[in-house]
């Protein structure tokens, strides 16, 4: 649980997201309230529920990015789902309870990765021991065992070595280990046993995976693979890591993490809102809303890892609400999103800042990408202003896709440079992208207007 104050959370979000201060403040307070709730006495803690957030604003202004960065900031399980993907219970399609199941899966991946980092050192050491045995010939091929014997735990025994052979083997293993650590055997071929991957036989709507049910009864099928030492090391390290991780503990911790710290981002919530002024009830959309309602207000969902409560999950819903209005949502669902934030459309200055200021700024990404081929990009301030102006103009006169418009423009501007870059003996060059070059590459885009809105 983070101990960051709301100001510190906003400062962290400012590193990646330009503008939208109101939305940042809202999610920062919601996150801090989780920490505050954890400090309360247990009897009152259960009564304090998260204040879910409804973000209202056009596409491409940072709604999803704010929620995603917030989850990364605190290592919280996070999933983004589109409300339009779900159907009413009884119809073909995904049911809303799959939101919780997906969140639990995300929590398991997160917790397993954290546990894996804790045992990674031991896993590397054990993988090295197995590699040394394989390369020194200590591991002989076992005779294929009867499946019934495997089920009963009766495996063929390894032959005993004489004292002289054991001493020779120790010397040989020390030599192999030294060469391994020096990186002298990376391209040698070694034969290892790997688990055969089988296709998952999971039926939609069922909480139990048939593979999981049978895995404890039927032994895992393995096959021999000849691979280079460097690849074998990765495979063996992953196997040893899995063996060292207590998955029961991972499942327990992941369910608790999902229940107490999970964040669900419900996108396109406006698309399941009924249209105002219709002649009758919109059954399909209203049905999805009523199915979402129990999850948001707090219920228990059965998963293959156990029951999961949704009472303390944070739900962040988002939508453009161009056609429908917030009041077109059913009243019960409106009441479950007490915090409402209007995200502002991006200005020309915002687009210019997005190009250069965030840590993962688009200009920096292209500079690093082309730097691989020895091309150094230098954007002038006038060029950045021209790109920002064009992005704003295109969004105003055509479909407003927000900051995503910048990707389209930069690809168009840098297409020739990226195509001509590269080559083993190509010298390093510096390419200056100025306003004239931007206008040349964008051409008519700078002065184009979308006339579709004038067509009846």
Tell me whether residue 114 is in a domain: no
* CATH code, 34: 3.40.50.300
Percent of the chain's residues with pLDDT above 90: 46
Within this chain, do residues 143 and 258 fall inside the same structural domain, yes or no? no
Closest CA relative to residue 68, chosen from 5, 148, 130, 13: 13
In terms of pLDDT, which residue wins out, 14 or 94? 14
Largest CA distance in the chain: 94
pLDDT at 389 over 90: yes
- Pair type for strands 78-82 and 222-228: unpaired
Residue 409 lies in domain: 348-454
**pLDDT at site 279:** 47
Tell me whether residue 141 is in a domain: yes
d(CA 427, CA 429): 6
- Number of independent structural domains in the chain: 3
Is residue 410 within 8 Å of residue 361, measured between CB atoms? no
d(CA 287, CA 93): 13
- Assign 392 a pLDDT band (cuts: 50, 70, 90): very high
Within this chain, do residues 302 and 238 fall inside the same structural domain, yes or no? no
**Angle between helix 348-356 and 381-397 (nearest 10):** 130
User: What tens digit of pLDDT does each residue of 170-219 get?
Assistant: 888 888 888 888 888 888 888 888 776 665 555 554 545 555 555 555 56
Tell me whether residue 53 is in a domain: yes
Residue 168's SS3 state is helix
The Cβ-side half-sphere exposure at 91, using a 13 Å CA radius, reads: 13
**pLDDT at site 171:** 81
**pLDDT at site 227:** 87
Indicate the residue among 317, 342, 367 that finishes a domain: 342
Within this chain, do residues 378 and 432 fall inside the same structural domain, yes or no? yes
- In the structure encoding, which two tokens stand for residue 267, read together? 């996108």
**pLDDT at site 181:** 86
Within this chain, do residues 244 and 294 fall inside the same structural domain, yes or no? no
Within this chain, do residues 281 and 291 fall inside the same structural domain, yes or no? yes
Within this chain, do residues 398 and 281 fall inside the same structural domain, yes or no? no
Report the residue count for the chain: 456
Tell me whether residue 115 is in a domain: no
Tell me whether residue 118 is in a domain: no
Within this chain, do residues 143 and 97 fall inside the same structural domain, yes or no? no
What's the N-to-C CA distance of the chain in angstroms? Answer: 55
Closest CA relative to residue 264, chosen from 24, 14, 52: 52
- In the structure encoding, which two tokens stand for residue 307, read together? 């029951």
Which residues have C-beta within 8 Å of that of residue 384, sequence separation ≥ 6? 352, 355, 356, 363
User: What tens digit of pLDDT does each residue of 222-239 get?
Assistant: 778 888 888 989 999 999
b/e sequence 195-234, b meaning 16+ C-beta within 10 Å? eeeeeeeeeeeeeeeeeeeeeeeeeeeeeeeeeebeebbe
pLDDT at 448 over 60: no
Tell me whether residue 116 is in a domain: no
Q: What is the mean pLDDT of residues 305-329?
A: 91
Within this chain, do residues 366 and 438 fall inside the same structural domain, yes or no? yes
d(CA 200, CA 211): 7
User: What tens digit of pLDDT does each residue of 24-59 get?
Assistant: 999 999 989 988 988 999 889 888 888 999 999 988
């Amino acid at each position: 649980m983070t101990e960051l104050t709301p100001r510190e959370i906003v400062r962290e979000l400012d590193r990646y997201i330009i503008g939208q201060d109101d939305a940042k403040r809202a999610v920062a307070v919601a996150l801090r309230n989780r920490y505050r709730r954890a400090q309360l006495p247990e009897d009152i803690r259960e009564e304090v529920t998260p204040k879910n957030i409804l973000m209202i604003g056009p596409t491409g202004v940072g709604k999803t990015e704010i929620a995603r960065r917030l989850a990364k900031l605190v290592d919280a399980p996070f999933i983004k789902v589109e409300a339009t993907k779900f159907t009413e219970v009884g119809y073909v399609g995904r049911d809303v309870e799959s939101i919780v199941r997906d969140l639990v899966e995300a929590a398991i991946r997160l917790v397993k990765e954290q546990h894996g980092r804790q045992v990674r050192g031991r896993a590397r050491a054990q993988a090295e021991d197995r590699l040394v045995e394989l390369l020194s010939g200590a591991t002989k091929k076992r005779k294929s065992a009867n499946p019934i014997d495997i089920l009963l735990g009766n495996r063929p025994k390894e032959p005993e070595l004489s004292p002289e052979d054991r001493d020779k083997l120790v010397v040989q293993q020390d030599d192999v280990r030294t060469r391994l650590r020096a990186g002298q055997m990376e391209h040698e071929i070694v034969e290892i046993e790997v688990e055969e991957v089988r296709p998952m036989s999971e039926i939609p709507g069922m909480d139990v995976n048939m593979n999981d049910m049978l895995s404890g009864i039927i032994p895992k099928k393995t096959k021999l693979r000849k691979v280079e030492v460097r690849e074998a090391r990765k495979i063996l390290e992953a196997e040893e890591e899995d063996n060292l991780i207590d998955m029961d503990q991972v499942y327990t911790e992941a369910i608790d993490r999902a229940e107490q710290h999970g964040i669900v981002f419900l996108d396109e919530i406006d698309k399941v809102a009924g249209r105002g002024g219709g002649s009758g009830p919109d059954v399909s959309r209203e049905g999805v809303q009523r199915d979402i309602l129990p999850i948001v207000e707090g219920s228990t969902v059965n998963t293959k890892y156990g029951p999961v409560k949704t009472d303390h999950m944070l739900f962040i819903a988002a939508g453009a609400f161009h056609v429908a209005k917030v009041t077109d949502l059913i009243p019960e669902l409106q009441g479950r999103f007490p915090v409402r934030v209007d995200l502002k459309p991006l200005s020309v200055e915002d687009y210019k800042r997005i190009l250069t200021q965030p840590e993962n700024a688009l200009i920096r990404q292209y500079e690093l990408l082309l730097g691989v081929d020895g091309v150094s990009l230098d954007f002038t301030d006038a060029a950045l202003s021209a790109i920002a102006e064009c992005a704003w103009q295109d969004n105003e006169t055509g479909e407003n896709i927000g900051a995503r418009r910048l990707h389209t423009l930069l690809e168009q501007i840098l297409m020739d440079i990226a195509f001509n870059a590269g080559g083993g003996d190509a010298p390093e060059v510096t390419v200056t992208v100025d306003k004239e070059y931007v206008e040349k590459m964008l051409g008519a885009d700078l002065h184009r207007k979308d006339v579709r809105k004038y067509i009846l």
